[in-house]
A = this chain, B = another copy of it.
Amino acid sequence: MLVVGIDLGGTEIKAGLVDSEKGIVKKISHPTEVEKGNEKVIENITSIAQELMKDVEVRSIGIGSPGSIDRSKGVVRFSPNFPEWHDFELGEHIRRNTGVDVFVENDANAFALGEWYFGKAKGLTDFIALTLGTGIGSGVVCNGVFITGKDGLAPELGHMVVIPNGPQCGCGNRGCVEAVASAKSIAREAKKLLERYPDSLVLKLAGSKEKIESRHVFEAYKQCDPLARVVVNFAIDALAQAIGNYIHAFNPEKIIIGGGMSKAGDTLFVPLKETVKKFVMNSFAGTYTIEQSFLVEDAGILGAASAALYAGRAI
């Protein structure tokens, strides 16, 4: 079965023709052009979809987008990438233009579905998928069911409070794991600490304070830089505590981690796995593994396509 998967980013639309068995068979991209207005964005999504649908029979289109999505209606309630969209009927617009069913999904949930159909969660009934990027996104399959909750808002595992009265989070709360262990939070903490560690390798690697990203902090951590050690250990402790909590809540077989920060690889995963052990009860020891996603650059397209495959399953 063929579907189109569209990874709707703020600057670029990445899209692919996806075979449910073989994965991506064709891939194209186009600037989103948010600055040219709503109609242009819809036009760009439409033409990229039509390009992929040329000469083949496509079952449906899946669109993954950051923000709050009403998946039952294909509506974007709001999205950080599209400030003009409020309860915007994205799915209906694209359906009208292309003539096929369109399913819209939050990008983190789409990532989890992508892992289920094409990644390390293939065939599993119980797993958790996390994206470590600007924020911490999550998707959960438990007892074979894609967990969404009463209003479709679950799971927001990035907003699990792990440190009472901890760092301020974008959500308005304090001490969410996202406020400590996301790529953005790690860069923010590193910048803050530069005053105390003016000779930090982080600064040398980034070139200037403004340019510091989490990857510089992880590279410096690998080289035993003291500032990086403080920041990364703080982040890993919080993330490990959160993952321990997820394990106790859902008893998953795998925790699969993707997103930009996962590219740190062993530098992140080795200490993270060790620290998670500290938080896991004896009865859960050995029940789970923590793994790096291998979908990488294709995760967005495959996730969006999987949202279409999953939604289509229920039709």
Chain A interface residues (CB < 8 Å from chain B): 68, 125-126, 140, 142-143, 145-157, 159-164, 171-173, 237-238, 241, 244-246, 248-253, 278-279, 281-284, 287
Contacts and interface: CB of A to CB of B under 8 A. Distances in A.
A156 B281 contact: yes
Contact of A164 (B140, B153, B159, B162): B162
30 contacts: A68-B283, A125-B150, A126-B149, A140-B249, A142-B142, A143-B147, A148-B251, A149-B250, A149-B252, A150-B252, A150-B253, A151-B287, A153-B287, A154-B248, A154-B251, A155-B249, A156-B248, A156-B249, A156-B281, A159-B248, A160-B249, A161-B162, A161-B244, A161-B245, A162-B164, A164-B241, A173-B244, A173-B278, A173-B281, A249-B249
Contacts of A161: 162, 241, 244-245, 279
Contacts of A125: 150
B153 A143 contact: no
Contacts of A246: 249
